[in-house]
Amino acid sequence: MTDDDVTLSGRLKDKLIDSKQKWAADGRLLTGETAAHSQRLPPGQRRVENWPVLDLGIQPEIPLHAWRLFVDGEVEKPVTLKWDEFTNLPKVKLTTDIHCVTAWSRYDNVWEGVSARTLIDLVEPRADVRHVIFHAYDTYKTNVPLADFSADDVLLAWSWNGRPIGREHGGPLRVVIPKLYFWKSAKWIKRVEFSVLDKPGFWEVRGYHNYGDPWLEQRYDDEASQGLQEM
């Protein structure tokens, strides 16, 4: 293993995690509206020009020689890819919007990387796989349905607006899933696990919605945000 080469600097932002957990419990930011995908800005969001940084406080530093991507779980052909093996896969370039649950949206981000479909074809998930679990180098986890990971606008990206994705934004490689809230787009991706069973991740077990569709304003778990709906 090459984990010894990966530096985890910083510390868990316990207060930030507590306050985001409280947002979920209080149902903060909820407008109660829904919108069609044809409406570009989802309900309760505002557009920003900058690109905010959000993480748990630990930004791993992963030298490319030590970087590995494990693609495994309930698949026929699990693989472990080194950086040059990954970047030699067929490339895609996509322009997408970002919608963060903390209510900012950023339009027209140009990503370059490898399509999720390329990875799926490579490992051949078993027919009963329904979920994909992302495991990141900072220990963060998040889950999405396989159907959403398979969408044609989903990729694992190493470049943003023509330059390598910076460490603060999840470089060397992050997931990008434009149609879900951005917490589903794991930074510093280490492992893509295909699973028959769902496995809720870091925010999903702390009051955030298990699916997270911005146009349906699925910010929080229904039970956690019930307080607001009753008000």
Q: Is residue 186 involved in binding ligand MTE (CB under 6 A)?
A: yes
Write out the H or E segment, with its range, that includes residue 143.
strand 141-145
Interacting partner of 56 out of Mo ion, ligand MTE, none (Cβ under 5 to 8 A depending on kind): ligand MTE
State residue 208 phi and psi, 5-degree precision.
Answer: -90, 155
Shorter beta-carbon distance to ligand MTE: residue 101 or 123: 101
Contact 113, 158 (CB under 8 A): yes
Which position has the token pair 């690109």? Answer: 51
Q: CA torsion 204→132→69→78, rounded to 10°?
A: 150
DSSP-derived 3-state class of residue 70: strand
Q: Where does this chain touch ligand MTE (CB under 6 A) — which range of 39-47, 69-77, 145-153, 177-185?
A: 177-185
Scan residues 56-85 and list those touching ligand MTE (CB under 6 A): 56
Q: Mask of contacts with ligand MTE, 134-153, x by CB under 6 A?
A: --x-x-x-------------
State residue 59 phi and psi, 5-degree precision.
Answer: -115, 100
Among the listed residues 23, 27, 55, 195, the single contact to ligand MTE using CB under 6 A: 55
Interacting partner of 81 out of ligand MTE, Mo ion, none (Cβ under 5 to 8 A depending on kind): none
| Cα dihedral 145, 178, 26, 23 sign | positive
Interacting partner of 140 out of ligand MTE, Mo ion, none (Cβ under 5 to 8 A depending on kind): ligand MTE
Among the listed residues 68, 99, 131, 169, the single contact to ligand MTE using CB under 6 A: 169
Which position has the token pair 């992963």? Answer: 62
Q: Where does this chain touch ligand MTE (CB under 6 A) — which range of 10-18, 47-55, 119-127, 150-158?
A: 47-55
Omega of the bond leading into 172 within 30 degrees of 0 (cis)? yes
| Site residues for ligand MTE per CB under 6 A | 51-56, 100, 136, 138, 140, 169-170, 182-183, 185-188
